[in-house]
């Protein structure tokens, strides 16, 4: 009885893969920067998406906690006054760390003296073309402010002087790579199929029905109950009838740890943070050295210059309402 199956040389090669293609971030972040008027010509659009910067705070453990830590350092020696409470300063300071700018609303008396400052969320603040500010409200509504009603504290950007820009933008690609590595690691374990290999068969005794059953068995190994072994028996098959050709297996290499460490260091450097203050574990027995000395140096070189930017608000405030910091 002749074999009804076609000769091996005439059979078609079958391939299949797991999952669907996913988009990746391309291009350089700086290519998207620029301040332009909105479509209606009324407002200036920020050079970087404010909503995007806010969402990135949840992408990485260090990137999400460092701005709050710097806010806390700024508040550490802050002296509240009748014109500016610690809560107001804390909110504006966090905006400044995340967006590179913060906004106060000036509350004046009948004589035009500034008696109190209130926080305006930088996420929704926009500059008007021709002068003034706008607070974007839900439902497409706008709250307009004159130029002298708002105190705008910003970190100067060399490309424009309309909006502040944070310093850490150069580390955003490292931040996103760090997040991608973590997400890939999670998908790797949740998926369970771990298709970091090519399942190669080269045996004429393997029928199409057998191939379909093998495909179903491998596909069924995903998700709950993964890491299951697969038994294959090909009567009359050779010793190389089935071969597993590795492509890239993150479980057997240290790429994940290397990526996490390198990108973590880049994120910390972008924030100009010392590892001892960023919650990092020392990689040697000597540790980071004298943490109190590191703290003093960091306060002098990083936090106190930021204070000077905020002290500009006192120029318009009544003397008994001015804020300040204790001299330590």
For 152-165, the DSSP string reads EEE--BTTBSSS--
Tokens 């890939």 — which residue?
Answer: 184
Helix pair 255-270, 61-76: axis angle to 10 deg: 30
Question: What is the pLDDT, as a whole number, of residue 211?
Answer: 74
pLDDT digit string, tens, across residues 84-129 = 999 999 999 999 999 999 999 999 998 888 999 999 999 999 999 9
pLDDT digit string, tens, across residues 153-207 = 998 888 888 999 998 988 888 998 888 888 887 777 776 545 556 666 666 666 7
Residue 316: count other Cβ atoms within 10 Å of its Cβ: 16
SS3 195: coil
Backbone angles phi, psi at 93, to 5 degrees: -65, -40
- The pTM score is 0.73
pLDDT digit string, tens, across residues 17-74 = 545 444 444 444 544 456 677 767 789 999 888 999 999 998 888 899 999 999 999 9
Helix pair 86-99, 61-76: axis angle to 10 deg: 140
Helix pair 255-270, 172-191: axis angle to 10 deg: 150
Q: Which two tokens stand for residue 137?
A: 């409200």
CB contact at 8 A, 135 and 143 = yes
Q: Which of 96, 146, 142 is nearest to 119 (CA)?
A: 96
Q: What is the Rg, in whole angstroms, of the alpha carbon atoms belonging to the chain?
A: 30
């Amino acid at each position: 009885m002749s074999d009804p199956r076609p000769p091996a040389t005439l059979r078609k090669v079958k391939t299949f893969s797991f999952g669907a293609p996913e988009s990746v971030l391309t291009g350089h972040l700086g290519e998207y920067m620029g301040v332009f008027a909105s479509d209606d010509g009324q407002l200036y659009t920020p050079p970087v998406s404010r909503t995007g910067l806010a969402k990135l705070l949840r992408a990485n453990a260090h990137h999400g906690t460092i701005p709050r830590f710097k806010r806390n350092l700024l508040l550490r020696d802050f002296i509240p006054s009748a014109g500016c409470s610690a809560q107001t300063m804390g909110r504006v300071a966090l905006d400044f760390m995340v967006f590179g700018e913060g906004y106060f609303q000036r509350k004046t008396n009948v004589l035009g003296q500034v008696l109190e400052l209130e926080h305006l969320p930088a996420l929704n603040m926009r500059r008007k073309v021709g002068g003034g500010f706008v607070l974007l409200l839900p439902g497409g509504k706008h709250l307009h402010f004159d130029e002298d009603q708002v105190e705008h504290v910003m970190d100067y950007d060399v490309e424009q002087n309309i909006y502040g820009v944070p310093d850490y933008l150069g580390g955003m690609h490292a931040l996103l790579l760090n997040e991608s590595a973590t997400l890939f690691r999670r998908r790797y374990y949740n998926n369970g199929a771990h298709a970091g290999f090519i399942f190669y068969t080269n045996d004429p005794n393997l029928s199409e029905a057998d191939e379909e059953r093998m495909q179903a068995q491998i596909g069924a190994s995903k998700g709950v109950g993964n890491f299951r072994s697969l038994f294959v028996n090909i009567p009359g098959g050779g010793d190389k009838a089935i071969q597993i050709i590795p492509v890239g297996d993150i479980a057997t290499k240290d790429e994940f740890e290397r990526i996490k460490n390198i990108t973590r260091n880049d994120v910390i450097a972008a924030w100009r943070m010392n590892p001892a203050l960023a919650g990092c574990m020392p990689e040697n027995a000597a540790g980071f050295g004298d943490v109190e000395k590191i703290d003093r140096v960091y306060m002098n070189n990083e936090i106190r210059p930021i204070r000077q930017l905020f002290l500009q608000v006192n120029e318009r405030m009544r003397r008994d309402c001015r804020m300040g910091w204790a001299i330590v």
